Structure 1
Amino acid sequence: MTLVRASDALALSNLTDAALRVRAVEAASSYDVELLVSVTHGYMTTASRKGARTSHKTLEAYGLAIRDFVPWARDAGVTLLRPGRRDGGRYVAQLQTRQTQGNGKRGTLSASTVAQYVAGVRALYRALRWAGATEAQPFEDAHVPPDPTPGIVKNPPYGAEIDAALAHCDPRLAALLLLCAHAGLRVTEALNVQSGDIASGRIRIRGKGGKERIVPLGKRVRAALSELPPLDETGHYFGWDYHRATYRLQKAFRAAGYAQSWRGFHAARKHSGTRLYTATRDFTRVGLFLGHSSVDTTRRYVAVQDDDVAGEVENF
């Protein structure tokens, strides 16, 4: 049977309950990867607790996991709507022994990658339950070992790379990098900045989860933005999407001699958080600056030196 694919995940959510269930059952029965991805995206953007606040990057990561799991399930003889009680553990086990591919890396998948794949497949089964196609929860008891290496160690903040790269940026790219590395913005937040968001040396940010915050801008960021004319009548400063901005900044890192040090825009945000913590010694204030809901999240953005309290314990 040929399935009619929904190019927009929202179209699935607008189906009647009966029609949605039929579409989800057909997709699972035929191992239709793309339709299962659409069902999951439909659930994530309309019915999950996060709703439309689910980020594009999260949806992409879940789609990657589903595109990995569904062919594995088909080849392993797993019936998606009626999986065996050990099938979740079987998938996790083969992920843990799978060899990495590409980028010159050797060894098995990292614990964080395994966890990301499992999170995506768990989302798939939440979506199938939402659609009324199954009540199965094959990953409910599947154990995913935690990553023993902290994220701040695996992906540390930039240091000298920032100023070195800035020397090879045009004014607009430099302003974008400073918004991330000095103002602590997420790259998606920085790319959406408009001139009307800035007043009295502060910027109003509509951030993750729909939350707003006011971020003070240092003199270096203020100077960089003051030299930029907005691109259009809406007041946007940047006309790039995430991929174009990444391509441009990678070129600047290469020109600065730091090609191997490129770790994405998030390491620039960690640079900002680490510098502010060093100045304030206060995770709560850093968390407010970065727009975190939990100080536990902030701790993953700050590189604390091993001897950070050496002076305090000197006279114990």
Structure 2
Amino acid sequence: MTLVRASDALSITNLTDQALRVRAVQAASAYDLETLVNVTHAYMTTASRKGARTSRKTLDAYALAVRDFVPWARDHGVTLLRPGQRDGGRYLAHLQTRPSQGQGKVGPLSASTAAQYVAGVRALYRALRWAGATEAQPFEDTHVPPDPTPGIVKNPPYRQEVDAALEQCGPRLAALLLLCAHAGLRITEALGLKTTDLQGSRVTVTGKGGKTRIVPLSRRLRAALQGVVAVNGAGNLFDWNYAQASYRMQKAFRAAGYPGVWRGFHAARKHSGTRLYTATKDFTRVGLFLGHSSVDTTRRYVAVEQDDVAGEIENF
């Protein structure tokens, strides 16, 4: 679901400085949720570090955070333009104790989800400062304690599930799964591919921030892609959105005998990274393959066995 329309944010961007300040002050004073979301969107796409290249996923995540924080602030007596110095910590405490509202999830929010909400509210206050409405920074010193359980443990890579699920997939769905599990593509990258991106044993991928990389294709993936033709005149390989692709893949995992194991396409991307690291023992090469700008990010995608160095220390 799209949480904010680009046209609404554009109308904010086109205001004069004075009109923007007035609009932002009025919205914050009235806890006007929609306008505050649009002000944040306008700031993120015009004045933030990434500007127009800010991803749709980030914009929607921040909009969700604003939609959570503003009603909480109103109900807890927080004046948005003049928040108290402890209000950032109060909201974080709320996030750490409120139950998750995700489908099928129980218990409190995860540390990563709470951090995403805090990041979204920080963006709101950067937007209000950009608009000239306030100088407040109530979340400057608000930090979410890291989760002691590594993400690779909480959401590990698929293992044998990939081959089992492939047997339950049609040609196009199998190609999509292999693009994530063999080529290591993000699901948005895979769904956005066109036939012109394919060049023999490689594919040109446009990733985050508009960065491009050339990714080698496995023998099985090349064979799977041979049976996939463009679905429309634009040359797209797929005509599914994320929800449609996820629904089809969940069905394939259930049919393969893995009900409840589906953890999203990211676990297939981790499958790719883990297999490549096992073969190369080189985080830098794996990071380049996955399109990461930092090796620290790559480490979160690779499941390393606890006794990975046992052979090396045998003769110490």
Q: TM over 0.5, yes or no? A: yes
Aligned residues: 312
Cα pair distance change 1:136/1:249, threshold 3 Å: same
Q: Structure 1: give runs of 5+ residues left out of the alignment.
A: none
Deviations 1:97-134 (A, max 9, x none): 22334655443322222111111111110111111111
The answer to whether the 8 Å contact 1:39/1:127 transfers is yes
Q: Which residue type is aligned with residue 112 of structure 2?
A: S
1:214, distance to aligned residue in structure 2 (A): 0.5
The answer to whether the 8 Å contact 1:6/1:12 transfers is no
In structure 1, the partner of 2:38 is 38
In structure 1, the partner of 2:127 is 127
Matches of 1:131 and 1:250, distance apart in 2:
44
Deviations 1:185-225 (A, max 9, x none): 11111111111111131111111111111101111111111
In structure 2, the partner of 1:110 is 110
Matches of 1:172 and 1:188, distance apart in 2:
16
Deviations 1:238-271 (A, max 9, x none): 0111111111111111211222111111111111
Matches of 1:104 and 1:241, distance apart in 2:
21
In structure 2, the partner of 1:231 is 231
In structure 1, the partner of 2:52 is 52
Matches of 1:97 and 1:195, distance apart in 2:
48
In structure 1, the partner of 2:67 is 67
Q: Structure 2: give runs of 5+ residues left out of the alignment.
A: none
1:172, distance to aligned residue in structure 2 (A): 0.6
Structure 2 counterpart SS, 1:140: coil
1:61, distance to aligned residue in structure 2 (A): 1.4
1:69, distance to aligned residue in structure 2 (A): 0.7
CA RMSD of aligned residues (A): 1.5
Deviations 1:139-165 (A, max 9, x none): 111232111111111111111111111
* 1:282 paired to 2:257: no
Q: Which residue type is aligned with residue 228 of structure 2?
A: L
The answer to whether the 8 Å contact 1:152/1:302 transfers is yes
Q: Percent identity?
A: 77
Structure 2 counterpart SS, 1:261: coil
In structure 1, the partner of 2:314 is 314
Deviations 1:27-69 (A, max 9, x none): 1111011211111111111211011222222112111111111
Cα pair distance change 1:16/1:173, threshold 3 Å: same
TM-score relative to the length of structure 1:
0.95
In structure 1, the partner of 2:166 is 166
Matches of 2:311 and 2:140, distance apart in 1:
47
In structure 2, the partner of 1:261 is 261
Q: Which residue type is aligned with residue 257 of structure 2?
A: G
Structure 1 counterpart SS, 2:260: helix
TM-score relative to the length of structure 2:
0.95
Q: Which residue type is aligned with residue 312 of structure 2?
A: E
Q: Which residue type is aligned with residue 133 of structure 2?
A: A
